[in-house]
Amino acid sequence: MEKWSAATIRDFRQTLLAWYDAKGRDLPWRHGRNPYHTWISEVMLQQTQVNTVIPYYEKFLATFPTVADLAAADEPTLLKVWQGLGYYSRARNLQRAAQQLMTDYHGEWPQTAAELEDLVGIGPYTASAIASIAFDQVVPAVDGNAFRVFARLLMIDADIAKPKTRQLFTQIIQPIVDPKRPGAFNQAIMDLGSSYMTAKNPDPEHSPVKAFDASYRAGRVLDFPVKTKKPRPKPMAYYGLVIHSPAGYLLAQRGANEMLTGYWTFPLILKETLQSDESTAPATVAEDIAEIERRWVAEFQLPLTLTSVGGRIVSHTYTHQRWQVTLLMADLPTARPLDFFPGKWVSAAEIADLPLPKVQEKMMQRFASQRDSRAFEKN
């Protein structure tokens, strides 16, 4: 690993911040040093691109301008505003932390990274980002960008997939952070990691910190950072039931122990739950349909005649799972009572008013495209 002298560190800070002052991104959450704004943006930016986040960020702040507004929000409104960003536990943790701020801190923000980590859902990176940007605490904000930038600059070969590596990087970067402008320093590293030092197709030749880049001099830029591969998401086969009646479409709200808690979807049935313990051969779609129809009569008193929607399977990938949803449909002549089914009839016009996960949007799009295709073929 490369080690920098005090003089090199001073030169690096000066070079980096001069570039940032001239070329740093003009982002809405960088207008001022409001910890609430920094917090919301950093949580939204987890797993999401900057250009995607900006309209969500602006809508979120328009709906919940202050921590107090977020703390008092009703969950359907919160989930609706968050809809499309995914990783929905982030939205719930935002609200829980806002309520914690109002209750335990009387609306006043803790000003150090260590104190900020006591808030629900705030980890070391987000705490350091808020503390440095809003309160000038001299701490490094170690995220994917910081891992990549400093692994290349210093040729650090520690595996960033291992939890203990974060502490190593924190210790290495801490003395490099500019003590007068720690927030600008951390944001400059973010901008550097998303421009000249991206994971793929970096441009070290034109990087403003090329002179400090040991991996570039060694011709080994793409060797860093070192990261072991994550296991592939587990495939999960579902049936999605598009059930229509004169009262609308049948939707179910995801439960507290399920992924996508609080969001609304067509009823989803995990295929593996349809097979008995004694069965050895995989069931056919026709056999699965027969079993679903039998169970819906027995459990919900809802007689169905299901047919395949056709077309491609709906696919959606989460961090650990890849959902593959086969759509089935049924038309009921009357709106059956839902005394035993945990859902409701929703008109087509009202579905969009509910908080919907991305997989539901994909199911609706696929169903609509197949329905239109069949109508065209009949004509």
Residues noted as catalytic: 42
Q: Which amino acid is at 196?
A: Y
H-helix segments, 274-340: 285-300
What is the distance between the alpha carbons of residues 280 and 104, in angstroms, rounded to a whole number?
A: 55
The burial class, CB within 10 Å (0-12 / 13-18 / 19+), for 127 is: buried
DSSP 8-class letter at 274: G
DSSP 8-class letter at 105: S
Q: How many CA atoms lie within 13 A of 81 on its CB side?
A: 23
**Integer CA distances (angstroms), 353 to 80, 261, 348, 365, in order:** 8, 17, 10, 16
Phi, psi at residue 247, to the nearest 5°? -90, -5
Instruction: Report helix, strand or coil for 177.
Output: coil
The burial class, CB within 10 Å (0-12 / 13-18 / 19+), for 288 is: buried
DSSP 8-class letter at 32: S
225 cis-preceded (ω within 30 degrees of 0)? yes
Four-residue CA torsion sign, 272, 275, 276, 277: negative
Work out whether strand 264-265 and strand 234-245 pair parallel, antiparallel, or are unpaired.
Answer: unpaired
Tokens for 305? 């005649």
